[in-house]
Structure 1
Amino acid sequence: MSSESKKSAADKDKSKVMSSKEDIYAGFQALRSEQRALANKLSELEMDLNEHKVVIDTLKLVNEDRKCYRMIGGILCERTVKDVMPILQTNKEQLTKVIEALNEQLTKKGVELNEYKEKHNIKIRGQDDDLSQKDKDSGTDNSGSGNQDKTSTRGNVLVANS
């Protein structure tokens, strides 16, 4: 009976370690997905800013009394160029401010992600520094004839060392 209780205690310890590794992995993935979401939003806003710049540059060359159309909440509204230009300029300035704020958030999220990786000793297979370390350890030369690094064709893999 004592050997069975020792085995069950060891199984419980292993399950705690596995669940903590899973929690660490889940936390890391959550940070990565937040970072990706910020990057996607930043990209979307930069595209909007570029569209605003193109429209402003185009409307500068047009007579101020000329009709133009503006989409507001899915509704196409007829305005004049002199009515629309100040609104576009204001939107452009606001987009610039939001993009700067998102860049700061993205940088902070990247630092947070790196700190999390260092804290939990997380390595991602396939990163350049990991590949160069493997090359040094194994003493292989990837520039040889026909010997290609097998990890270069694989995607990144997350490895947690404890």
Structure 2
Amino acid sequence: MSAAKTSKKSAKGPSQEKIIADFNQLRQENRNLMAKVSELEGDVNEHRLVIETLKDVDGDRKCCRLVGGILVERTVKDVLPALEHNKEQIEKLVETLGAQIQAKSAELAEYREKYNIKVKGEQPPATSEEEKSGGSSQGVLVAKDSK
């Protein structure tokens, strides 16, 4: 008898708890991707600053580079091409992750639409009437002249 009850529930669709858990997992994956992109963009900016600084320096001058947690002494002419290559690779990775974020956001929106999920504290999208009138007058007080 209990097997029949569980089969009826599974035929109905996933439980509300499962839907919420899956939705939260999708949101967390999306946030993780965004955090990684932000971190990598910071790395690109650091690489750009170092490259700009080293371009003005003599190629035979010694400089240090951190490789796998070990500080290695090299010359600028050895380090500069490696830095430029690393920067290019990081930029490609940022582009790839950006595409993954777009796909994950679309998946999240589809999931939200499919199960009609509303997040507390999040404002619903503006209706066409609000868009025509230039938005809502939420939080704005206007005094009328009493003359």
**With structure 1 as the length reference, what TM-score do the two structures score?**
0.70
The residue that corresponds to 1:117 in the other structure is 112
Determine which of 94, 100, 108 is the counterpart of 1:105.
Answer: 100
Determine which of 58, 61, 70 is the counterpart of 1:66.
Answer: 61
Q: Percent identity?
A: 51
- 1:134-153 equivalences under 5 Å are 142-144=139-141
The residue that corresponds to 2:35 in the other structure is 40
Letter in 2 for 1:58: T
Give me the CA root mean square deviation: 2.3
Question: Per the alignment, do residues 45 and 141 of structure 1 end up closer, same or farther by CA in structure 2, a change over 3 Å counting?
Answer: closer
Determine which of 43, 51, 58 is the counterpart of 1:56.
Answer: 51
Deviation at 1:127, TM superposition (A): 2.1
For residues 101 and 88 of structure 1, what CA distance do their matches in structure 2 show?
20
Please tell me whether residue 82 in structure 1 is matched to residue 58 in structure 2: no
SS at match of 1:76: strand
For residues 124 and 19 of structure 2, what CA distance do their matches in structure 1 show?
22
For residues 83 and 139 of structure 2, what CA distance do their matches in structure 1 show?
54
SS at match of 1:124: coil
Determine which of 12, 15, 26 is the counterpart of 1:20.
Answer: 15
Which structure: greater strand fraction? 1
The residue that corresponds to 2:145 in the other structure is none
For residues 120 and 31 of structure 2, what CA distance do their matches in structure 1 show?
19
- State the aligned residue count: 125
Gaps of 5+ in 1: 1-11, 146-162
Deviation at 1:124, TM superposition (A): 1.4
Runs of 4+ in 1 over 6 A off after TM superposition: none
The residue that corresponds to 1:149 in the other structure is none
**With structure 2 as the length reference, what TM-score do the two structures score?**
0.77
Letter in 1 for 2:54: L
1:85-104, CA deviations, whole angstroms, 9 ceiling, x for partnerless residues? Answer: 11011101101100000000
SS at match of 1:128: coil
Letter in 1 for 2:80: M
